[in-house]
Amino acid sequence: MTNNVSIASTDLNVSIDLANGGRLSSVKWRDLELAVAHRESPLSWGWYPMAPWAGRIGRGDLDTPHGIEKLPTHLLPPNAIHGLLIDGQINLGATSDHEAMVWCDLPAPYEGGRVEQRVVLADSMMTWSLSYRNGARPMPAWLGFHPWFRRTLSRGAEVEITNPATFMMTLDEEGLPNGKIQGLTLPPWDDVFGGMLDAPTLNWPGALKVTCLSNAPWWVIYTHDPEGVCVEPQTAPPHAAALGLSPALAPGQEIRLEYRLSFQSA
């Protein structure tokens, strides 16, 4: 069985790595590679889905209707982070030249739950969607996308991010959202934003502009890394269950996240 699937449109080429959680290991617009290449930590490269939660969960303690469930914390001790797909095998579903679907049935404590990711390419537009269908017992769940964009491309200037948020969440001493909101600070950011007035954009002057559209009410923007930046739509913020911002899903209930990225010359 192949562990890599490639799809393409007129301007876009995408490779999907089934052995690394279905992440997009390569995203090319014309001659420009956008995805940060493989690095040692699975958290730090490619474009990957986050499910059945997005971001950090403090101490790996997930608040559920059944009490506290312990989540794996091996990727970023002492916290759980970015879901259960990131370093695992995922299954290939229906594919065509320009579209691919991958899926995964989840382990405990989300047993019976299923995640599906779909990537559809059309000329200079990529639609990246993620869905989660809950298992047999009520559980909190929220979704996100974590694309690592290269800070510099093979041509053009260093990336500039336009962040049209109207507020950001306050973080506690461990870097977890505490449920309070504040006005925007200046970058660098590793922060949770909301109240978007427009679509966030990434612009590499002289090369490329990417416009980021999503049905997500929350965004995490990360700019501390010397090689890459992240603009991450999420259905709820990190640590959402503890903050009461991710109500438990009923058995069989489904949630969905869509991320549409438009690419044009800059």
The residue ranges of DSSP E strands in 10-90, in sequence order, are 12-17, 23-29, 32-33, 47-50, 56-57, 61-64, 67-70, 80-81
Phi, psi of 19 (to 5 degrees): -85, -5
| Eight-class DSSP state of 51 | B
Judge whether residue 1 has pLDDT over 70. no
CB 34 within 8 A of CB 57: no
Q: Which helix (H) or strand (E) holds 240?
A: helix 240-243
Gap between the Cα atoms of 71 and 92, Å rounded: 26
- Whole-model pTM: value is 0.97
Phi and psi based region of residue 18 (left: phi greater than 0; alpha: psi -120 to 50; beta: remaining): alpha
Which residues touch 173 (CB under 8 Å, ≥6 apart)?
none
108 DSSP β-pair partners: none
Instruction: Look at residue 91 in the predicted model and tell me its pLDDT.
Output: 96
User: Which one is the CATH code of 4-153+227-260: 3.30.1370.140, 3.20.20.140, 1.10.10.10, 2.70.98.10?
Assistant: 2.70.98.10
- Mean pLDDT confidence for 84-101: 95
Residue bearing the bigger pLDDT, 2 or 61: 61
Instruction: Look at residue 202 in the predicted model and tell me its pLDDT.
Output: 98
| Eight-class DSSP state of 124 | T
Q: Chain-wide mean pLDDT for the chain?
A: 97
Closest alpha carbon to 253 in 140, 141, 136, 134: 134
Phi, psi of 121 (to 5 degrees): -110, 140
Q: Domain extents for the chain? A: 4-153+227-260
Q: Which helix (H) or strand (E) holds 241?
A: helix 240-243
Judge whether residue 248 has pLDDT over 70. yes
Which residues touch 101 (CB under 8 Å, ≥6 apart)?
92, 93, 94, 95, 116, 117, 118
Residue 58, classed as helix, strand or coil, is helix
Structure tokens at 221: 């923007």
What is the per-residue pLDDT across 174-225, written as a single tens digit (0 to 9) for each? 899 999 999 999 999 999 999 999 999 999 999 999 999 999 999 999 999 9
pLDDT band at 38 (very low <50, low <70, confident <90, very high): very high
Residue 20, classed as helix, strand or coil, is helix
- Mean pLDDT confidence for 76-93: 95
Q: Which helix (H) or strand (E) holds 192?
A: strand 190-194
Gap between the Cα atoms of 92 and 83, Å rounded: 19
Judge whether residue 2 has pLDDT over 90. no
Length of the chain: 266
Structure tokens at 206: 């002289």
What is the per-residue pLDDT across 148-183, written as a single tens digit (0 to 9) for each? 999 999 999 999 999 999 999 999 988 999 999 999
Instruction: Look at residue 87 in the predicted model and tell me its pLDDT.
Output: 86
- Torsion angle of the four alpha carbons 207, 33, 190, 58, in this order, in degrees rounded to the nearest 10: 160
Gap between the Cα atoms of 55 and 142, Å rounded: 10
